[in-house]
């Protein structure tokens, strides 16, 4: 199991605390320092079953500068969104937990983190 975190994020710290409390084995990826490639973002989206706009933090300054709220949300725009996430990793929703069964969850709630734990 791997968890993509920003250590400054309270949701990330809560997810780590829960994983630790449950004795889970995991690796931490500080995705702002170890930025995911476009291919890694595509892979995690496939594992999540989501589209790039579903995991984009549209309230971030970079999102506003790019005008993301105006971008189309369709197949022809998918790569544009993925490139933006790779170029501006702060836009990626966090934490993302990749479970051992090949799935992933956005672990913003205790229930979502527990769901990832159940997928061992």
Burial label, 52 (beta-carbon count in 10 A; 0-12, 13-18, 19+): buried
Q: How many CB atoms lie within 10 A of CB 79?
A: 12
Phi, psi of 20 (to 5 degrees): -65, -45
Q: Per the residue annotation, which of 9, 35, 62, 112 is the catalytic one?
A: 9
12 has catalytic annotation: no
Return the HEC string of 56-69: ECCCCHHHHHHCHH
Residue 17, helix vs strand vs coil: helix
Q: Are 85 and 79 in contact (CB under 8 A)?
A: no
What residues are labeled active site? 9
């Amino acid at each position: 199991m791997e968890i993509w975190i920003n250590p400054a994020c309270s949701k990330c710290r809560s997810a780590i605390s829960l994983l630790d409390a449950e004795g889970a084995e995991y690796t931490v990826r500080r995705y702002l320092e170890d930025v995911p490639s476009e291919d890694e973002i595509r892979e995690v989206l496939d594992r999540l079953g989501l589209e790039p706009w579903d995991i984009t933090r549209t309230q971030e300054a970079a999102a506003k500068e790019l005008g993301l709220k105006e971008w189309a949300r369709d197949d022809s725009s998918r790569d544009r969104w993925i490139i933006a996430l790779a170029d501006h990793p702060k836009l990626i929703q966090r934490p993302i937990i990749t479970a051992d069964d090949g799935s992933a969850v956005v672990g913003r709630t205790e229930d979502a983190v527990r769901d990832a734990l159940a997928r061992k």
